[in-house]
Structure 1
Amino acid sequence: MLKILGKSSSINVRKVLWTCAEIGVPYELEQYGNGFLPTGTPEFLSLNPNGMVPVIIDEGQALWESNTICRYLAVKHGRSDLLPVGPMARAQVEKWMDWQATELNNAWRYAFMALVRRSPAHTDAAAIAASAAEWNRLMTLLDAQLARTNAYVCGDRFTLADIVLGLSLNRWLSTPIERPALSAVEAWFERLAARPAYIQHGANGVP
Structure 2
Amino acid sequence: MALERPIPSRLTLLRLRNQERLYRSIKKTVEDARNATIQRIRAIIPKLEIARKSVYDELGRVSLILKAAVSRMGIEEYGKLSEVIKPSVDVEFIDITMEGLKFRGLEFRGVLSPNYGIYAIPPELDSALYGIYSNFKVISEMMNLENLFYTLLARIREYQRMVNAIDNVLLPRIMDNSRFVRLKLDEDEREEFVRRIVISKLLEAMGR
- Considering the TM-score relative to the shorter chain, is it more than 0.5? no
Which range, TM-score by smaller chain? Answer: under 0.3
Larger radius of gyration: 2
TM-score w.r.t. length of structure 2: 0.24
Higher share of residues assigned helix: 2
- Bigger relative contact order, structure 1 or 2, given CA contacts below 8 A and separation 6+? 2
